[in-house]
Structure formats: C-alpha cells, structure tokens
Structure 1
Amino acid sequence: MYVAPINTEALLQQAENEELYLKLIEQLNKDFNLANEGIDLPISTAPNELKIQLQEKIYRLIQYKFAEYLNLLYIIDVPEEQIKQLDGSDISELSAQVAFLVLKREWMKVWFRNRY
C-alpha cells in the first residue's frame, strides 16, 4: 500500500531505503526536460543537495518564468488543489512547499512503476 511521506526528508529517506533514489532523480530529470526546464541532476546528487537544487530551480521559475512554472506543474501532474492551498506570501517558503509536492508526485510515479 502506498503511504505518502510527510516531508521532503522522509520522502528522500524512503526512496533510498527502497533503493529507488536513482529512479527518482531520473524521473525528475525526465519531467523537467519535458517541460523544457532541464534541471540536470547527476545521479551522484546527495539527497540534501537534491532538495536544495529543486527548491532553487522552483524559486527561479516562480520569480522569473511563471508560465514555465505552471507548465512544469502540469507536466509533473501536481494536483492544482494542493497548490492553491499553499501560502504564497513568502516565495522562499512557497518554493520549498512546491518542491515537496513535486517530489511527492514524482516519488508516487517511481514507486508505482516499481511496484506494479
């Protein structure tokens, strides 16, 4: 049964524990490239570094390329209701929350593909 992780650290730990961390990086790279916003994460990227790079990329998209940001969320299939529930008053905090939603959706894809 799929249980959604409660935060980024728990998600990355679960991905490592299930030996799917590299698949998660591959999925992120694939979907960012589909959105023409390559993030180019090497498979050697440490979990903490992954979190930072993802948050920075999303921060820049929100700040400077909002249409591309929305396209990315659409391609990754992040639920619109979850995005609407976030507080957008602090872009730094918003980018961290969106990064978690992106990771959660990508992890779900990787987990299900591995499981079924």
Structure 2
Amino acid sequence: MDPKGAYGKLVRDRIPEIIREHGAEPVTYTADAEEYRNRLRDKLVEEVAEFLEADDSTAPEELADVLEVVHALASVLGVDVGQLEKIRENKASERGGFAERIVWTGNR
C-alpha cells in the first residue's frame, strides 16, 4: 500500500484476520496519527452515507457503525466515551435535544 494514504481505506481491526480466514492475504499498513485522524473523518462520511441509504431494518446497524467511528474520533481528540456523553448531556441541558421534532423556518 501507499504509505501516504492515496489508496486503501480504514477498516476495523479484525478485518485482516477475517480476510485470512477466507484464504486471502491482506496487504495493510498502520497509519500514522495524522493519517489516522484524516481517515477517521473520511470513514465518518462513509458511514453516515451508508446510514442515510439504509432502510429501517438495517439503519440500526449502520448507526452503530457511525457511533464506532465517533468513539474513535473522540479518542483521537483525547476524550473518552464518558466525557463525550457528558458534553452531549450539557449541550442537551443548555439547548435541548431533538425529541420534540421542532423545525425552525426563520424569524418574524
């Protein structure tokens, strides 16, 4: 693989092992910190797109993939899942959540 990251994509940690179990030999490398962060951002876009295309039966699985990437990005930023949840709770307390389905159309 191109160590500058022009090719390939970030995959889950067990994917090379799963590929080997199916009789192929994966070609991989470990991204440096900067590439990893960039590839996680790309992966988030990919997973959100998959979620948006999913039907109701597959949407929960796709949403779990989004959450996995969000957790990895939080870790890169030095924030653990508990801290991330606290930040979410604080924002919800200050600004609310989305449960009331309010759509803003502008001001008068």
> Do these two structures clear the TM 0.5 threshold for a shared fold by scoring above it?
no
**TM-score, with length taken from structure 2:** 0.31
Q: Which structure: larger Rg?
A: 2
Q: Which has the higher contact order (CA 8 A, sep 6+)?
A: 1
TM-score (norm 1): 0.29
* Higher normalized helix content (fraction of residues): 1
